[in-house]
A and B are shown apart, each in its own frame.
Chain A
């Protein structure tokens, strides 16, 4: 069963900690995405990647960085977590044509 997996479903971190969110897809998709979803604000794109080692900023990249060293893996890094980064984080991948397929999400709480 093809899918996108994320390393954690729930995560609690403290302000100032460095946070790594991992995402792996087994569909050989070229494109991978990180979104965050907040009530009333919808899905907002943080970063996306269309190839290994390539990354492009989305709408809200501030406070985040990403890494794509292998085609199947796309990591989101919060360099110094802040309370306003408490959110649901959704990873997705898509082929060269076709809509993104989402992982289950990671609900991150920053205290």
Chain B
């Protein structure tokens, strides 16, 4: 059973702080990793993709990947109330080229 786990929430941070979201996965051959943001009642929105070890930055978001530790994280700098959402981690296990397993999500609340 290929699994993706995320730190349990909800996670609350004050406005302007750094929010840190974590994800671990069990499939060692996974090669691509994704973070999604999902507002209540809406569908998931892709916000970050990462394919190689290290950091990838996009605006206030930084994704970090460590394949040896089977760990991927998302940092949100200068958190805003509009960042309050559930964040989903997804891993491509690639059995047929593209097969994605999603984590259960972490709910983030940014307090004004």
Residues of A within 8 A of B (CB): 30-31, 33, 35, 42-43, 45, 48, 50, 56, 90, 94, 96-105
B15 CB to nearest chain A CB (Å): 27
- Interface Cβ pair total, 8 Å cutoff: 54
- Say if the beta carbon of B8 comes within 8 Å of chain A: no
Residues of B within 8 A of A (CB): 32, 34, 36, 42-46, 49, 88, 90, 92, 96-105
Cβ B44 vs Cβ A90 within 8 A? yes
B29 CB to nearest chain A CB (Å): 15
**By CB atoms of chain A within 10 A, which of B32, B92, B100 has the most?**
B100
Q: List 24 A-B contacts (CB under 8 A).
A: A31-B98, A35-B102, A42-B88, A42-B102, A42-B103, A43-B44, A43-B88, A45-B99, A45-B100, A45-B101, A50-B96, A50-B97, A90-B43, A90-B44, A94-B98, A94-B100, A99-B32, A99-B46, A99-B49, A99-B90, A100-B46, A100-B90, A102-B45, A104-B42
